[in-house]
Structure 1
Amino acid sequence: MNELDDMDFLLGSDDENGRSRRQRGNGRRGRRRRRRRNRGGFLAPLLAIIVLLGIVGGGGYYGYLWLSDRLVPDDYPGPGSGQVALEIKSGQTATDVAEELVRLGVVKDSRAFVNAITNSGKSASLVPGHYTLRKQMRAADAVTELDSGNRQFNQVTLKEGLRLSDTIATLAKETKIPVKDLTAAAKKTKDLGLPAYAKGNLEGYAFPATYQFPPKATAADVFTKMVDRFKETADRTGLESGAKALGRTPGEIMIIASIIQAEAGRQEDMGKIARVIYNRLNREPEMLLQMDSTVMYALGKYGTAATFEEAKTPSPYNTYKHLGLPPGAISSPGDHAIEAALNPTKGTWLFFVATDPNNSRVTKFATTEAERQKLLAEYKANGG
């Protein structure tokens, strides 16, 4: 074997060498083609993912806008204008009020109001009443305006001892309810919830106090509220049980209380005046009450000093002529007078005299006729 043969042996034959080189070349090209194919296979999914993320991202943005619109309801920028009257009724929820505010044009979306009042912590503190708001208000501002301190009402103070006619005049002035409406309502006592012992007479049962009436209150609404206030006082003072213990009806106690209210110049004398009334009623034989206040009521006058001529009136309210109590109350007694009628001060007095005509707060008491004459002399000396 020559050297070339040896080289052929080492390198292989031409055919083998050619095939070997082609095979190696083909292997390298195959790997390059596979790498190119692999690059293409990676890029396609990547592009698809990028496109998909773009679609999802765009959809997410619009979805966010849609969701945001649902979670953040429309609201007016405020502050609004004009005036709108709203009445919150007993039992209404924040949602009920929100819907009414939308109907009235106060807020733009009921959810805006509900969210605002929930965030303020006041959703459970809406107080029934009448309120004044503006149209196109910001929901949070509407919540502020619905504070109980902003309720609209007519405040009326009715003093103890007023007669029903005076009560009607005061109510008409302060509430703007016509006198004729109040007078008519005062006669329809079945609608007012009067107790049976009032015998259908509102006099004495329109309880004196300070009231807050809504702007649209009717005459019946006003008197019903006053009668309800009386019944609360009657329960608190134990009127019915106390009357029974004294051998009187609740109606009689109210008549006595009304006389005490009319006659007393100061609260501390009320119990003593009550004792004088009971001592006269319970005396054997029974004495005439001889209360000037009942005579003045009968005549439609005022004061606690009737003249001899005035004391001749035939009215059943004239306690100078008729034994016992008058047929009804002569004024609206307050708490103290009712309590005095139920708890008279212990004593033997049969008379009392306001000895100073210039100071009605001075009242003195007597048991005998001689003591009474001395008090009358004092009264005359003071210009009475």
Structure 2
Amino acid sequence: MSDLDMDFLVGADDDGSRRRSRASSGPGRRGRRRKRRRNRGGFLAPMLAVIVLLGGIGAGGFYGYTWVRDVMTPDDYTGQGTGEVVVEIKDGQTASQVAETLEKQGVVKSAKAFVNAVADAGKSSSLQPGEYTMRKQMSAAVAVGLLDPSKRLRERVTLKEGLRLSDTLVKLAEQTGKPLKDFQRAARDAKALGLPPYAKGRLEGYAFPATYEISPKMGPADILSAMVDRFHQTADRDGLARKAKVLGRTPHEIMTIASIVQAESGNVQDMGKVARVIYNRLDGDPVRKLEMDSTVMYGLNKYGVAATNADLESDSPYNTYNRLGLPPGPIANPGDHAIQAALNPTKGDWVWFVTTDTKRGITKFASTEAEFLQLKAEFEKNRNGG
């Protein structure tokens, strides 16, 4: 190859430089020219090697990328899935634990795919315990959508304040479709329900009235236990044990008073006064019998606002017309307002009260027997439509 050809291959700075190279004479300059051409040729070989190497990477790199992509992307189903399966998320489970459950039940193809889908949707902290209807072999993204808390399988049951336990169990059986006898059996197992020791083994008064969300898997014992748990929460918040001690009463006595307050009050505003009448009768000088119709009716398993003369002759331990002091225990399940009233009675010297107008829930209070007789006459007049 001529010098001209070599110069063309490796390039030159400009035409002048090529002319100066050829015009130079002497061995020193000729040697330097050969050395410069060898350096230029030495650069070419590595460059060609890099080109060949990059060509190899280009060919094999595509397959390498595909392999990495397959390894990094978890297996996932596509589509909405088929069939039906009920999945339970337990309280305290993490997204990873839920993902493992879904994979085991064949809902998603891999736990990793579900975890990624939850993160993509920003719902890692919004998975709520409960039971959900899912489908087999559904995409992870679709599965995340079906685990919305609003889609939980549950029944909403509202239990009003003042319901007797027997009525509470009937309502629960009706609302859940579970046998009444199963609820009655569960109600007798005080230890399993977690009743406080002062409840004396009886659920009456401690099945806290509220609205409950009941899942299909919850049995009667689970439901009643949830109600007792709610009572414990309320008792702790209200300081039941501590305040009862200040009042010189046991927590069980406070709950008994609260149940009578609940049964006898026409509205929430009267509860503190009704509680005061009870305390004034229990702690007065002289001590008076409570003489509450609600306790008499409970002991006879009857309903009504006024006991008959025959009712008042019963020897039931709940007949507070014949016995001093409180009845053996609560006569219903009081709500928080009644418990608060029993713990914080309104100040006053009332010893009687009469619900003079049962239709409108009007209750009036008296400090003397003469006032009481006037209120009683007013009640009789309203009851007879006068």
CA shift at 1:319, angstroms?
0.5
CA shift at 1:276, angstroms?
0.8
Pair 1:193 & 2:194 matched: yes
Secondary structure, in 3 states, of the residue corresponding to 1:378? helix
Tell me, in whole angstroms, the C-alpha distance in 1 between the residues paired with 2:297 and 2:52. Answer: 101
Q: Counterpart in 1 of 2:383?
A: 383
CA shift at 1:310, angstroms?
0.9
CA shift at 1:53, angstroms?
5.2
Q: Counterpart in 2 of 1:324?
A: 325
Tell me, in whole angstroms, the C-alpha distance in 2 between the residues paired with 1:335 and 1:180. Answer: 28
Q: Counterpart in 2 of 1:87?
A: 88
CA shift at 1:153, angstroms?
1.4
Q: Counterpart in 1 of 2:247?
A: 246
Q: Counterpart in 1 of 2:367?
A: 367
Aligned AA (1:59) = G
Q: Counterpart in 2 of 1:286?
A: 287
Q: Name the stretch that deviates more: 362-371 or 54-63.
A: 54-63
Alignment of 1:195-234 (within 5 A): 195-234=196-235
Alignment of 1:1-384 (within 5 A): 55-359=56-360, 361-384=361-384
CA shift at 1:94, angstroms?
1.8
Aligned AA (1:139) = A
Q: CA deviation digits over 1:269-324, x for unaligned, max 9?
A: 11111111111111223211110000110111112210001111110001111111
Tell me, in whole angstroms, the C-alpha distance in 1 between the residues paired with 2:151 and 2:94. Answer: 18
Secondary structure, in 3 states, of the residue corresponding to 1:327? coil
Tell me, in whole angstroms, the C-alpha distance in 2 between the residues paired with 1:191 and 1:357. Answer: 40
Aligned AA (1:287) = R
Tell me, in whole angstroms, the C-alpha distance in 2 between the residues paired with 1:172 and 1:265. Answer: 28
Q: CA deviation digits over 1:307-366, x for unaligned, max 9?
A: 00111111000111111100010000001101111111111111111112433x111111
CA shift at 1:136, angstroms?
2.0
Aligned AA (2:383) = G
Aligned AA (1:368) = T
Aligned AA (1:373) = L
Secondary structure, in 3 states, of the residue corresponding to 2:357? coil
Aligned AA (2:65) = Y
Q: Name the stretch that deviates more: 295-304 or 93-102.
A: 93-102
The size of the alignment, in residue pairs, is 343
CA shift at 1:149, angstroms?
2.4
Q: CA deviation digits over 1:64-118, x for unaligned, max 9?
A: 2211111222322212222221111123222222222122221122222111111
CA shift at 1:49, angstroms?
7.3
TM-score normalised to structure 1 length: 0.84
Aligned AA (1:181) = D
Aligned AA (1:375) = L
The alpha-carbon distance between structure 1 residues 43 and 271, as it changes in their structure 2 partners (threshold 3 A), is closer
Secondary structure, in 3 states, of the residue corresponding to 2:86? strand
Aligned AA (1:348) = D
How high is the sequence identity, in percent, across the aligned residues? 62
The alpha-carbon distance between structure 1 residues 44 and 237, as it changes in their structure 2 partners (threshold 3 A), is closer
Aligned AA (2:378) = E
Tell me, in whole angstroms, the C-alpha distance in 1 between the residues paired with 2:216 and 2:248. Answer: 44
Aligned AA (2:216) = P
The alpha-carbon distance between structure 1 residues 238 and 43, as it changes in their structure 2 partners (threshold 3 A), is closer
Tell me, in whole angstroms, the C-alpha distance in 1 between the residues paired with 2:94 and 2:284. Answer: 61
Secondary structure, in 3 states, of the residue corresponding to 2:362? coil
Secondary structure, in 3 states, of the residue corresponding to 1:354? strand
Tell me, in whole angstroms, the C-alpha distance in 2 between the residues paired with 1:320 and 1:132. Answer: 56
Tell me, in whole angstroms, the C-alpha distance in 1 between the residues paired with 2:249 and 2:47. Answer: 102
Tell me, in whole angstroms, the C-alpha distance in 2 between the residues paired with 1:131 and 1:270. Answer: 42
Secondary structure, in 3 states, of the residue corresponding to 1:130? strand
- RMSD of aligned C-alpha atoms? 2.1
CA shift at 1:215, angstroms?
1.4
Q: Counterpart in 2 of 1:6?
A: none
Secondary structure, in 3 states, of the residue corresponding to 1:365? strand
Q: Counterpart in 1 of 2:23?
A: none
Aligned AA (1:175) = T
Tell me, in whole angstroms, the C-alpha distance in 2 between the residues paired with 1:93 and 1:376. Answer: 62
Secondary structure, in 3 states, of the residue corresponding to 1:363? strand
Q: Which runs of 5+ in 1 are unaligned?
A: 1-40
Tell me, in whole angstroms, the C-alpha distance in 2 between the residues paired with 1:333 and 1:42. Answer: 95
Q: Which runs of 5+ in 2 are unaligned?
A: 1-41
TM-score normalised to structure 2 length: 0.84
Tell me, in whole angstroms, the C-alpha distance in 2 between the residues paired with 1:358 and 1:126. Answer: 47
